[in-house]
Amino acid sequence: MAGVEPTSIDGVLVTHHHSDHSKTALRASKNWGAVLYSNLETAIRMGWEPIVECRTFGALERIVVSDEISLLPIPVPHDDADNVAVIASNGDGRRAAVVTDLGELTADLMRHLSGCSHISIEANYDHDRLMSGPYPEVLKRRISGRGGHLSNAQTGEALSGIVNKNLESVVLCHLSEQNNAPHLAESEVLMSMEERFSGSIGISLQSGPEFSNWLGQSEPERISSL
Ligand SMILES: [Zn+2]
Ligand SMILES: [Zn+2]
């Protein structure tokens, strides 16, 4: 995590049980002395013992992590997982969202996204690349379906619906190596938001928590991972 001391982390929230989001969470929470948070379904699927190993939360139940930070988990449709998007709020009312692994945006989530200063959101695939690529038909349907992932176009459309002057930065994440490319994701999203967006845009690399900018800016920018 860029610029963050692991031991300064108070809590680790796992959004759902899929291994790309959960694998090292229990170990990390123990190593860092941080509280592990998940909903009950995720805890069961991970084999974590509630209370002893993790603190469970309900949908839309505000989690107070510290004096400054609280988290709001918002259920989103994704495969067989009980997945959540997360809105983090700090003491002065600024909010940041982390949104990955969902087939479509819900009205609840859209309402909470508008007014966020920072949004990390998946732009998983370019629709044409996915459809003309080598994946079997059943997998193409799953990824592009209601329980799959957001395409660049869906993410652009969502951001276009909520962009306002409060939105300072957007990071596109969870890009598919096979079915997407950073310049495609960035250009599609920027095009959707048009000149209404004056903040910074970055792409989260699969290999790590640092963010690079492809088209929008000349200088890569480091942003703390949430
Ligand atoms: Zn997932
Ligand atoms: Zn994932």
Rounded to whole angstroms, the Cα distance separating 111 from 106 reads 9
pLDDT at position 157, please? Answer: 97
Rounded to whole angstroms, the Cα distance separating 6 from 28 reads 9
- Please give the mean pLDDT across all residues of the chain: 89
pLDDT at position 1, please? Answer: 57
Q: How many residues does the chain have?
A: 226
What totals of helices (H) and strands (E) does the chain contain, helices first? 8, 11
- How many Å lie between the centroid of ligand 2 and the Cα of residue 195? 30
Q: Which ligand is nearest to the CA of 173?
A: 2
Q: For residue 214, what is the DSSP state?
A: S
pLDDT digits over 157-187, tens only? Answer: 999 999 999 999 999 999 998 999 999 999 9
Type of residue numbered 156:
G
User: b or e along 100-132 (b: 16 or more beta carbons within 10 Å of the residue's beta carbon)?
Assistant: bbbbbbeeebeebbeebebbbbbbbbbeebbee
Helix, strand, or coil (residue 147): coil
**pTM of the predicted model as reported, rounded to 2 decimal places:** 0.89
* 211 has a pLDDT exceeding 60: no
- How many Å lie between the centroid of ligand 1 and the Cα of residue 20? 7
pLDDT at position 132, please? Answer: 97
- How many Å lie between the centroid of ligand 1 and the Cα of residue 51? 24
pLDDT digits over 121-159, tens only? Answer: 999 999 999 999 999 999 999 999 999 999 999 999 999
Ion ligand 1, residue ranges at CB < 5 A: 18, 101
pLDDT digits over 81-101, tens only? Answer: 999 999 999 988 899 999 999
- How many Å lie between the centroid of ligand 2 and the Cα of residue 21? 6
- How many Å lie between the centroid of ligand 1 and the Cα of residue 174? 10
- How many Å lie between the centroid of ligand 2 and the Cα of residue 100? 7
pLDDT at position 95, please? Answer: 96
DSSP characters over 11-49: EEE---SSHHHHTTHHHHHHHHT-EEEEEHHHHHHHT--
pLDDT at position 180, please? Answer: 93
